[in-house]
Amino acid sequence: RPGVNIREGMLLLAVGGKKVSKELTPNKLLVNQAGQEVQLTVANRNGGSPRTVCVKTIVDETPLRYRDWVENNRRYIHEKTKGRVGYVHIPDMSAEGYAEFHRYFLVELDYEGLIVDVRFNGGGHVSSLLLEKLARKRIAYDLTRWMGYTSYPEESVCGSIIALTNEYAGSDGDIFSHSFKLMKLGKLIGRRTWGGVIGIWPRNWLVDGTITTQPEFSFWFKDVGWGVENYGTDPDIEVDITPQEFAKGIDTQLERTIEEILKDIK
């Protein structure tokens, strides 16, 4: 919240007027306080200048953790490739995923390479719109006297593309991953996708308040027919993350993707 002026490293002395201690931890004092206005007493690192501020607690920390994960991946790729490769993550193929794609795509497409991460993609219906943009091949530039240049076609990727997927990418995430291979946009790296492209439309309510989710949509590909359902799509390069690597914070899938795209743009 603007004006609170709380910085990392400051001390939390009290929550809601109750002093923080070994017995009364911040977690205990924040029980049942989600989405509420809460008073915090804070002080500088040395305990000086204590003051009380009012903040509104969050209801769900998932969006913050997601943003931190994406930004860390993006920052790591930029540093590891010395500013040569961009990064975009697509969490689903609905409104959120469409917005998330365009949040980063327009600033990442001018790098020599682009990593498109669809791991954990929850599906939806906009994969064709995103694939259409990724399929654009930059062949020229429109130069202006006063406004710099724009790529032609507009919003086209400058260099090579690699997609990164895993077993948690399903539905339209399956479709995106398989289409990416079929359209020969680049390598697909990671794990075989979830394998669920028969879609439901939960719109028929019963008198007791339950809702039916009968299958209403399926998907056929020219190479495997109905074969993505109950199987998924295989990556060109299979890379897993072991529990030991995950515990250490090592993303072997991302590391291999960086290695491969640097080969492509060499």
Q: Is the model's pLDDT at 62 over the cut of 90?
A: yes
- pLDDT, residue 68, reads 97
**The pLDDT value given to residue 186:** 97
Burial, 265: exposed, middle or buried (Cβ in 10 Å; 0-12, 13-18, 19+)?
middle
pLDDT of residue 123: 95
How far apart CA 116 and CA 89 sit, in angstroms, is 6
User: What element of type H or E holds 177?
Assistant: helix 172-182
What lies within 8 Å, CB to CB, of 148 at 6+ separation is none
Buried b (16+ CB within 10 A) or exposed e, 117-145: bbbbbbbbbbbeebbebbbeebeeeeeee
Chain segment 117-171, per-residue pLDDT in tens: 999 999 999 999 999 999 999 999 999 999 889 999 999 999 999 999 999 999 9
pLDDT above 90 (res 203): no
Banded model confidence at residue 64, pLDDT cuts 50, 70, 90: very high
Asked if residue 131 lies in contact with residue 180, where contact means CB atoms within 8 angstroms, the answer is yes
User: Residues 179-187: what's their mean pLDDT?
Assistant: 98
- Note the residue count of the chain: 266
| Residue 141: per-residue pLDDT | 94
Q: What is the pTM of this model?
A: 0.87
Q: Cβ–Cβ contacts within 10 Å for residue 165, how many? A: 31
In 134-243, the DSSP E strands lie at: 140-143, 149-152, 160-165, 186-190, 199-200, 204-205, 211-212, 215-217, 237-238
What domains are there in the chain, each with its CATH number? 11-56 (no CATH), 62-264 (3.90.226.10)
Place of tokens 């299979």: 238
